[in-house]
Amino acid sequence: MKVLGIGDNVVDKYIHIKTMYPGGNALNFSAFAKKRGVEAAFLGTFGSDKEAKYVESVLNELQIDISRCRYYSGENGCARVTLEEGERIFLGSNEGGVTRDNLMKLTDEDKSYISKFSIIHTGLYSHTAHLLSDIKELGVPLSFDFSDDFDNKQIESYIPYTDFAFFSCSHISDADTHKFLHTHFKNKGQILIATRGSERAIAYDGTEFCYQDPKYVIAKDTMGAGDSFITAFLLNYLKSKDISLSMGEAASFAANSCLVEGSFGFGMAYE
pLDDT for the residue 105: 97
Q: What pLDDT score was predicted for residue 86?
A: 85
Residue 1: name the closest of 258, 239, 254 by CA: 239
The pLDDT of residue 87 is 87
| Tens of each residue's pLDDT in the chain, 271 residues | 999 999 999 999 999 999 999 999 999 999 999 999 999 999 999 999 999 999 999 999 999 999 999 999 999 999 999 999 888 899 999 999 999 999 999 999 999 999 999 999 999 999 999 999 999 999 999 999 999 989 999 999 999 999 999 999 999 999 999 999 999 999 999 999 999 988 999 999 999 999 999 999 999 999 999 999 999 999 999 999 999 999 999 999 999 999 999 999 999 999 8
Q: For domain 2-269, is the CATH number 3.40.50.2020?
A: no
Residues 191, 161: Cα–Cα separation, whole Å: 12
What CA–CA distance (Å, rounded) separates 144 from 135? 12
Question: What does the pLDDT read at residue 85?
Answer: 84
Can you give the pLDDT at residue 244? 98
Indicate the pTM of the whole model: 0.96
Angle at 224 between CA 221 and CA 226, to 5 degrees: 115
Q: What integer pLDDT is reported at residue 81 of this predicted model?
A: 95
Question: What residues have CB less than 8 Å from 225, skipping those under 6 apart?
Answer: 219, 254, 257, 258
Alpha helices in 62-209 (DSSP H): 98-101, 108-114, 132-136, 152-158, 174-184
Q: How far apart are CA 63 and CA 40, in angstroms?
A: 8
Distance, in Å, from the CA atom of 192 to the CA atom of 175, rounded to the nearest integer, reads: 15
Cross-strand bridge partners of residue 83: 88
Sheet holding 19-23, edge to edge: 87-93, 77-84, 10-14, 19-23, 268-269
